């Protein structure tokens, strides 16, 4: 079952890594993150660029540069991240992919799926990066803990 693309997964893991580092230095190096989390550097760079262009992060070049949160992670919700990396219609899609599916003409899984989706949405809309970060052991973000 694949809910998030690799891009979202990598982006989220990097953001959570940044949360565990917040306060240490202004900017967190993308290279460092790519090595710690074992994610391709160039790929991660491109993902974080999306977040930077969406003003979730700010970046800085040169020595001791990197990326940093533009707004405190307390104010960034999971849904914000996912909307940027997966697209705006993340929660609007039908489970079966039927374009006409909706209240008016529900697909066979509509009712069943509606409850699950609402629960997921609720969680995504109330969970902040900071809240997730609170319970993180750094090793759990790595590939082979």
Residue ranges that bind DNA, judged by CB under 7 A: 5-7, 10, 27, 29-31, 40, 42-43, 45-46, 48-49, 52-53, 59-67
8 A C-beta contact, residue 15 and residue 68: no
How many other CB atoms are there within 10 angstroms of residue 29's CB atom?
16
8 A C-beta contact, residue 76 and residue 67: no
Minimum Å gap between C-beta 112 and DNA is 21
Which residue matches tokens 């705006």?
88
3-22 residues in contact with its own copies (CB under 8 A) are 3-4, 6, 9, 12-13, 16
Which residue matches tokens 């799926």?
113
The interface mask with its own copies, positions 16-55, x = CB under 8 A, is x---------------------------------------
Among 24, 63, 103, 105, the residue binding its own copies under the rule CB under 8 A is 105
């Amino acid at each position: 079952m694949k809910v998030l693309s690799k891009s979202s997964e990598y982006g989220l893991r990097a953001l959570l890594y940044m949360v565990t580092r917040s306060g240490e230095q202004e900017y967190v190096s993308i290279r460092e993150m790519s090595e710690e989390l074992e994610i391709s550097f160039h790929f991660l760079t491109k993902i974080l660029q999306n977040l930077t262009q969406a003003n979730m992060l700010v970046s800085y070049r040169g020595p001791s540069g990197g990326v940093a949160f533009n707004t405190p992670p307390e104010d960034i919700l999971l849904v914000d991240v996912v909307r940027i990396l997966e697209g705006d219609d993340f929660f609007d899609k039908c489970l079966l992919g039927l374009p006409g599916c909706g209240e008016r003409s529900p697909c066979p899984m509509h009712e069943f799926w509606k409850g699950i989706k609402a629960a997921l949405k609720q969680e995504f809309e109330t969970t902040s990066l900071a809240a997730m970060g609170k319970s993180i052991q750094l090793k759990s973000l790595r590939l082979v803990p």
